[in-house]
Amino acid sequence: MDVFVTVALVVTIALFFDFTNGFHDTANAMATSVATGALKPRVAVTISAVLNLVGAFLSTEVAKTISQGIIREGDNGVEISPSIIFAGLVGAVLWNLTTWYLGLPSSSTHALFGGLIGASIIGAGFGAVDFGVLLSKVVLPALFSPLVAGAVALVATFAAYRITRQARSRGSDTGFRHGQTVSASLVSLAHGTNDAQKTMGVITLTLIAAGYQPSGTGPQFWVIVTCGLAISVGTYVGGWRIMRTVGKRITDVQPAQGFAAETSSAATILISSHLGFALSTTQVTSGAVVGSGLGKKLAVVHWGVVGKIATAWVFTLPAAALVGGLTAWLAITSTTGLIVVAVLAAAGAATLFVLARRHPVTHENVNEPAAGNEAAAESATSGR
């Protein structure tokens, strides 16, 4: 009975994590399309949701990304119990909701890793975590991703403006909007094949650990369906707060910039994962937006906003680890402790949703620049 309760809780929170992952990452593919008017907000999230769902079914490989060797499992490692996975997910969900409330794009994958790492340390000691792998697989790629995408998008934006006479030649804005729709859709599809897989991996890991499924088997069909649905519903609900930051507050994205940024993101994401050096989607797209701001004559990049985003990235892993660790400390004691933690986590999540309602960002006001951005809007106009 205890095992069943634990597994049910893990599956529930894993699907909820998948949901937050979806709505956190809508901004990756669609923020610039919404900002430039290439797609109406509702249309953008619908396309992204459908492509995420399709992506979840496309990839048949079992998501082993989750462990990726950071947490030492197996014979000479530690036993990862469902309680530890549960605690890790609580850390990831709460951090995802916090950054969503603040309107900051941050990597859901890092939040998940952070939560699991924190929970494993509490559950099994520091030896459970391979810090070398952590550095080479998570920390350093996180530093490169925005730099690579930013440099690529900078030159691409410059070229796009140069060739189209500062986007003044006839039909260029419309043309860039069409192009951007296509490259943003590719980013969405790539996202679906990656991120839904992570939750499938977590749920499958739990079912195996609890003895409900033989080890070495892939995700069951109901797991694939529910994960795909959770991420696409999350995407459809849309993280409008984050979209506003990426599309309007880093820099006021214009069609040529949006096209250059999304194409650079799509190219960087696809090529890096193809060559086996996967870079984070969130960090690539955010970096590309900054690059597209730098590549346009007289466009303003708000470094204050960029700084806040960078700070959030630095804190993502440790913060999620801290929450995951605290949760693990309570949760591994007993089933009662686990349920207490579940109630506390639900209360924390509800608090953030209530707080967010005080200054709601919806599909209606997603394109409003922030207060104090008038200067930016002005110089963007004069630069055309």
Partner 1 sequence: MHTPSVLAAAASGGSFLGVDWGAFVVVFLVSFAAAVVIVASYALGLRLLAVGSDDDAGADGALTSGRQGARPAGVTVGAYACFALGGAAVLYGLYLIIPQFH
Residue among 193, 199, 213, 281 that touches partner 1 (CB under 8 A): 193
Q: What angle do CA 236, 88, 124 make, to 5 degrees?
A: 165
Stretch that binds partner 1, among 19-27, 90-98, 185-193, 350-358 (CB under 8 A): 185-193
Is 202 in contact with 85 (CB distance < 8 Å)? Answer: yes
Please pick, from the candidates 74, 165, 214, 358, the single residue that binds partner 1 as defined by CB under 8 A.
165
- The contact pattern for partner 1, residues 195-234, with x = CB under 8 A and - = no contact, is ----------------------------------------
Separation between Cα atoms, residue 183 and residue 188, nearest integer Å: 9
Q: Render 7-27 in DSSP notation, one character per residue.
A: HHHHHHHHHHHHHHHHHHHHH
Interacting residues of 328 by C-beta distance below 8 A, sequence separation 6+: 83, 84, 87, 88, 118, 119, 120, 122, 123
Contacting range for partner 1; rule: CB under 8 A; set: 27-35, 71-79, 141-149, 328-336:
141-149
Contact pattern from residue 258 through residue 277 relative to partner 1, giving x for each residue in contact according to CB under 8 A and a dash for the rest: -xx--xx-xxx-xxxxxxxx
Quick one: which segment of 3-11, 148-156, 340-348, 356-364 binds partner 1 (CB under 8 A)?
148-156
Which residue, chain included where needed, has tokens 């693990």?
328
Interface with partner 1 in residues 314-353 (CB under 8 A): none
Alpha-carbon dihedral angle through residues 18, 218, 11, 116, given to the nearest 10 degrees: -70
Distances (CA, A) of 195 to 80, 153, 175, 182, 339: 21, 24, 30, 20, 27
298 binds partner 1 (CB under 8 A): no
When the beta carbons of 143 and 343 are compared against partner 1, the nearer one is 143
Nearest distance in Å: CB 268, partner 1: 4
CB of 139 to partner 1, least distance (A): 9
SS3 assignment, position 72? coil
Nearer to partner 1, 91 or 287 (CB): 287
Q: Smallest distance from the beta carbon of 152 to partner 1, in angstroms? A: 5
DSSP 369: P
For residue 65, the minimal CB distance to partner 1 (Å) is: 14
How many CB atoms are closer than 10 A to CB 295? 26
Q: Does 379 bind partner 1 (CB under 8 A)?
A: no
Q: Give the interface segment with partner 1, choosing from 28-36, 78-86, 128-136, 328-336 (CB under 8 A).
A: 128-136
Phi then psi dihedrals of residue 129, to 5 deg: -110, 130
Output the smallest distance, CB 191 to partner 1, in A.
Answer: 10
Shortest Cβ distance from residue 346 to partner 1 (Å)?
A: 36
Residue 294: exposed, middle, or buried by beta-carbon count in 10 A (0-12, 13-18, 19+)?
middle
Least Cα distance to 245 among 160, 306, 169, 159 occurs for: 306
Are 313 and 110 spatial neighbours (Cβ–Cβ below 8 Å)? yes
Name which of residues 47 to 76 contact partner 1 (CB under 8 A).
55, 58-61
Q: Is 175 in the site for partner 1 (CB under 8 A)?
A: yes
User: What is the CB neighbour count within 10 angstroms for residue 293?
Assistant: 27
Q: Which is nearer to partner 1, 88 or 179 (CB)?
A: 179
The Cα 232–Cα 267 span in angstroms is 23
The residue among 8 and 182 lying less far from partner 1, judged by its C-beta, is: 182
Q: Which of 39, 189, 223, 338 binds partner 1 (CB under 8 A)?
A: 189
Q: Which residues bind partner 1 (CB under 8 A)?
A: 55, 58-61, 132-133, 135-137, 140-141, 144, 148-149, 151-153, 155-157, 159-160, 163-166, 168-172, 175-176, 179, 182-183, 186, 189-190, 193, 256, 259-260, 263-264, 266-268, 270-277, 279
